[in-house]
Every structure is written in structure tokens, then in C-alpha cells.
């Protein structure tokens, strides 16, 4: 009964709350896919994107949050829009967002982010790990670049719009720790009000999206919504797939009781470096009843984070797997293992294999994604210590995702990955050069 109700509700939202797209460039056809360009901020190492929102449309700079529940923006400062609509308690939008909160006694002046008898969710800053219960749900116009059937951007300036995209207002203090000029976060997580879910509903796409992060701060990567036909690449045959795992416990920031995690978890069976097994407590690789442990993929962490005992064994195994007796240098924070750059580089680092369930299913991490240059004389292992008893034992961070095409298929609950596009003689910046 509950499943039938959710289906009816979702269909109602698709047909009436989020009507078919209106093209800003006056085209009559629906887009085949959508794209958000993504850049890497050199100061914070955050991955940034930009949408156009409101009436009249204004560009809004955002930090990408792979596991984020929804789009949230600062409504305290400078939010002006004639199409802003707060989500009233009990409305279809509130039900779709699974809100259990109704606010009737705001003490602030009425306006975006401050309206009585509205429902709320809890916007969270996944960088600073701060969240708040001040998160009025609302809808407004959002426009985004469309893509044609050939995997190229439609004519310059051609955007399509979602007239009533659900998002959350956040207070200004929640921007602390985000890159300069950022006004919120673009949530891509496992909810019905994340950007992938809403775009797929509005444009009748397959429930999937792909990310391709550039390793350069001077060229772009992208997030693709829908089924993007990349030139000369058969994605379905080129990627390796592994199941996405649902963590039943929301253990990051504020949440309603019973909310599952919105992050993307996968199962790792073991870790090999240069063919050698990293000795570790394998129970840490499973999610326990409290929702702790396991492995997730994240754009909020710039480097892969490992629980302390895993990290120590990882460094030791890596050092032993080096082909030559390469001299170590003093560690440079946040890294725990650094080497003389005259003796080691991306091509001399041993391969790291994350062994997944199934036959020959391995996420391979090559030197370009395992070693990072720090200063003039050091190359450091781009993995960091996550401490004892962290909520998640392994967090695969942004550096290990760069120049790696990842497809998150929500309908089939699976993750596809390329390991490294460099082995395909291409990069994320080349794949996104048409946009």
C-alpha cells in the first residue's frame, strides 16, 4: 500500500508540480540529456558548478555534493525572485521531500526562507559538517544546459527550465567553509528531491546521472543527467558495474527518525597494493546496525579517507610494494606518507585495487590518482587518516574520482566506473570540451 501511494504521489509531482520543460531558447523539443559544468577550486579543492535560478534568472555558484539530499541555497542575503513559492505544510512537495516538520512561528520578517505554515528539511554543509533545522522548503525556476542526441551541447545559450524545482533555503552561516562566492550546495544524493531525481522526473529521463571530474583547476569536468551518448565510447560496455548499497541509517547531520543515508555506498571485499593484500579487519568494510562502517563515494572529501587501522596497514603495504627503495621525506599534512619526488611519480607507483563483489570486478587506482605532488620535492600518497571509529571506514574522495567516468544508475541501483579515462587515451576535460 505504501509503495502504491509513493508511486501515485511521484506521478502527481511529475505531471502537475513539475510540468514539462519550457525551453529558454524557445525550442519545442525536449532535451536528450542535461549537463552542469564542474570546475575545481584551487584553494579549497571543492568541486564547483553553477545553475541559473529565480525570476529573473541569476547565476548561482554551488559546491557539488554527491551525497547531498537536495539543492540548498542561502536565502538570507539577496534572494529576490517573483517565482519563489514556499512549500506549505501537507503539500505534495513536503510529502515528496519526506518532511515531518511544520513551522508556524517564525520570528523573522516574511520572505524567502521565512514563511509560516511551511515544511522544512535540514540543509547540511558536507564540508564543515554543519547542519541546521532552519531549512524552509520551496520551489523556484531553475534552468540548465541541454544536450542533443549526439552528446554535444545544443546551440550556445540554449537552456531548458524546470519551473518549480524543489529546494531548501539555508541560513548564511551555513556557507562557512565553502569556496569564495558559493551560495549553497548542489545535492545529488539518494532522495526524490535531489537534482538527478527531479530532472529525470521533469524530462522523463532514465534515472541515472554521470560525473566526470577534471584533474585540472584550469579545465572543466561535468555532471550529466540522463543517458549521454559520448562520442566513440560505448558506456554500457566500457564501464565496470557494482551494486549500490543502501545504508539504512542517516548518520551525517540532522535527519528525521528513520531516514536512510542519502550517500552512495558500495561494497569492498579487500584492498590490494601491487598484488599484495592489505591486512585489515574486514568487519570494518561492512555497515553495522548503527549505520557505521562500509565504503562510500564522496565529492566533499578531497582525498580518500581511511579508518586509522586500515590507513596504517595501507601505508605499510604501499611502501613495501614500491619497486625501489625510494627515500621517504617528512610527511606534509594532511598526508602521512611522502616520498622524494626525484625517485617516484605516477608511473612508478604500484597499482591499488579495490576488490568488489563478483568475478574480476576491481576498481583500479593508478599513480595519477594515488600520488599528489606537494611542494617542489615531495610526492605524497593521496590518502588520509580518518581516525578511530569514524562513521564510514572508507570514503573514496575527489582526487581518486578525477578523470574517472562514474555512472550512478538509480533505477538499477548500481555504480559504473572506468577506473581511469587515461587508459582510454582521454580525460574528463576532453569529454566535456563540447559544452
- The pLDDT assigned to 25 comes to 37
pLDDT at 228 > cutoff 80: no
**pLDDT above 70: percentage of residues in the chain:** 89
pLDDT in tens, 332-387: 999 999 998 888 766 689 999 999 999 989 999 999 999 999 988 899 999 999 99
Residue pair 89/118 in contact by the 8 Å Cβ criterion? yes
Domain 235-432: which CATH class?
A: mainly beta
pLDDT at 237 > cutoff 80: no
Looking at 218-373, list the stretches that DSSP marks H as alpha helix, in order from N- to C-terminal side.
Answer: 235-238, 308-321, 367-370
pLDDT in tens, 125-182: 999 999 998 899 999 999 999 987 555 555 555 899 999 999 999 999 999 999 999 9
Residues 389-396, mean pLDDT to the nearest whole number? 97
Q: Do domains 33-226 and 235-432 have the same CATH topology?
A: yes
What is the CATH superfamily name and number for domain 33-226? Acid Proteases (2.40.70.10)
Residues 77-88, mean pLDDT to the nearest whole number? 96
Closest CA to 386 of 397, 370, 399: 397
Residue pair 400/304 in contact by the 8 Å Cβ criterion? yes
User: Could you give the C-alpha distances from 338 to 10, 315, 367, 374, 384, in angstroms and in order?
Assistant: 51, 10, 14, 9, 12
pLDDT at 43 > cutoff 70: yes
Closest CA to 206 of 215, 197, 219: 197
Distance CA 13, CA 193 (A): 11
**pLDDT above 90: percentage of residues in the chain:** 73
Distance CA 418, CA 425 (A): 12
Q: What is the DSSP string of 43-108?
A: TT--EEEEEEETTTTEEEEEEEETT-SS-EEE-SSS---TT-EE-BTTSHHHHHTT---EE----S
pLDDT at 53 > cutoff 60: yes
pLDDT at 263 > cutoff 80: yes
In whole numbers, what is the pLDDT of the chain averaged over residues?
A: 89
Distance CA 94, CA 382 (A): 41
Residue pair 391/414 in contact by the 8 Å Cβ criterion? no
Residue 120 is given by DSSP the state B
pLDDT in tens, 265-317: 999 999 999 999 999 999 999 999 999 999 999 999 999 999 999 999 999 99
pLDDT in tens, 88-133: 999 999 999 999 998 886 677 889 999 999 999 999 999 999 999 8
**Structural domain boundaries in the chain:** 33-226, 235-432
Distance CA 211, CA 225 (A): 9
Residues 412-416, mean pLDDT to the nearest whole number? 96
426 Cβ partners below 8 Å, 6+ apart?
none
Task: Rounding to the nearest 10 degrees, give the CA dihedral for residues 299, 303, 305, 310.
Answer: 140
- The pLDDT assigned to 1 comes to 42
Task: Rounding to the nearest 10 degrees, give the CA dihedral for residues 29, 83, 183, 429.
Answer: 10
Do you find a cis peptide bond into 413, omega within 30 degrees of 0? no
Q: What is the pLDDT confidence band of residue 231, given thresholds at 50, 70 and 90?
A: low
Residue 322 or 402, more confident: 402
Q: What is the pLDDT confidence band of residue 8, given thresholds at 50, 70 and 90?
A: very low
Task: Rounding to the nearest 10 degrees, give the CA dihedral for residues 213, 216, 218, 221.
Answer: -10
- The pLDDT assigned to 416 comes to 96
Other Cβ atoms closer than 10 A to 62: 27
- The pLDDT assigned to 54 comes to 98
- The pLDDT assigned to 155 comes to 55
Amino acid at each position: 500500500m505504501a509503495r502504491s501511494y509513493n508511486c501515485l504521489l511521484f506521478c502527481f509531482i511529475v505531471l502537475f508540480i513539475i510540468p514539462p520543460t519550457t525551453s529558454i531558447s524557445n525550442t519545442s523539443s525536449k532535451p536528450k540529456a542535461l549537463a552542469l559544468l564542474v570546475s575545481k577550486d584551487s584553494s579549497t579543492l571543492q568541486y564547483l558548478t553553477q545553475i541559473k535560478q529565480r525570476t529573473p534568472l541569476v547565476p548561482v555558484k554551488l559546491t557539488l555534493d554527491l551525497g547531498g539530499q537536495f539543492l540548498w541555497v542561502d536565502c538570507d542575503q539577496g534572494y529576490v525572485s517573483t517565482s519563489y513559492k514556499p512549500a506549505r505544510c501537507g503539500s505534495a512537495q513536503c510529502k515528496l521531500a519526506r518532511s515531518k516538520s511544520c513551522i508556524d512561528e517564525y520570528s523573522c520578517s516574511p520572505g524567502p526562507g521565512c514563511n509560516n505554515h511551511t515544511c522544512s528539511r535540514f540543509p547540511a554543509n558536507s564540508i564543515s559538517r554543519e547542519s541546521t533545522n532552519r531549512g524552509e522548503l520551496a520551489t523556484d525556476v531553475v534552468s540548465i544546459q541541454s544536450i542533443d542526441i549526439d552528446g554535444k551541447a545544443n546551440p550556445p545559450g540554449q537552456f531548458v527550465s524546470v519551473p518549480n524545482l524543489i529546494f531548501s533555503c539555508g541560513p548564511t552561516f551555513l556557507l562557512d567553509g565553502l569556496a569564495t562566492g558559493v551560495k549553497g550546495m548542489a545535492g545529488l544524493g539518494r532522495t526524490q528531491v535531489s537534482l538527478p531525481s527531479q530532472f529525470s522526473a521533469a524530462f522523463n529521463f532514465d534515472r541515472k546521472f554521470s560525473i566526470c571530474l577534471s584533474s585540472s583547476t584550469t579545465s572543466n569536468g561535468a555532471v550529466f543527467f540522463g543517458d549521454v551518448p559520448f562520442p566513440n565510447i560505448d558506456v554500457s560496455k566500457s564501464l565496470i558495474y557494482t551494486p549500490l548499497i543502501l545504508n539504512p541509517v542517516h548518520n551525517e547531520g540532522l535527519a528525521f527518525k528513520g531516514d536512510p543515508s542519502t550517500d552512495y555506498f558500495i561494497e569492498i571485499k579487500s584492498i590490494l597494493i601491487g598484488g599484495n593484500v592489505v591486512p585489515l579487519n574486514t568487519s570494518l568494510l561492512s555497515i553495522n546496525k548503527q549505520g557505521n562502517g562500509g565504503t562510500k563515494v564522496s565529492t566533499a572529501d578531497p582525498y580518500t579517507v581511511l579508518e586509522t587501522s586500515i590507513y596504517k596497514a595501507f601505508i605499510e603495504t604501499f611502501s613495501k610494494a614500491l619497486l625501489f627503495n625510494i627515500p621517504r621525506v617528512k610527511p606534509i599534512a594532511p598526508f602521512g606518507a611522502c616520498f622524494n619526488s626525484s625517485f617516484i611519480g605516477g608511473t612508478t607507483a604500484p597499482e591499488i585495487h579495490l576488490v568488489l563483489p563478483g568475478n574480476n570486478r576491481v576498481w583500479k587506482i593508478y599513480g595519477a590518482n594515488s600520488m599528489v605532488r606537494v611542494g617542489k620535492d615531495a610526492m605524497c600518497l593521496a590518502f588520509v587518516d580518518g581516525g578511530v571509529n569514524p562513521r564510514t571506514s572508507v570514503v573514496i574522495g575527489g582526487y581518486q574520482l578525477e578523470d574517472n567516468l562514474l555512472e550512478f544508475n538509480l533505477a538499477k541501483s548500481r555504480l559504473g566506473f572506468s577506473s581511469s579515462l587515461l587508459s582510454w587515451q582521454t580525460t574528463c576535460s576532453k569529454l566535456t570540451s563540447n559544452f
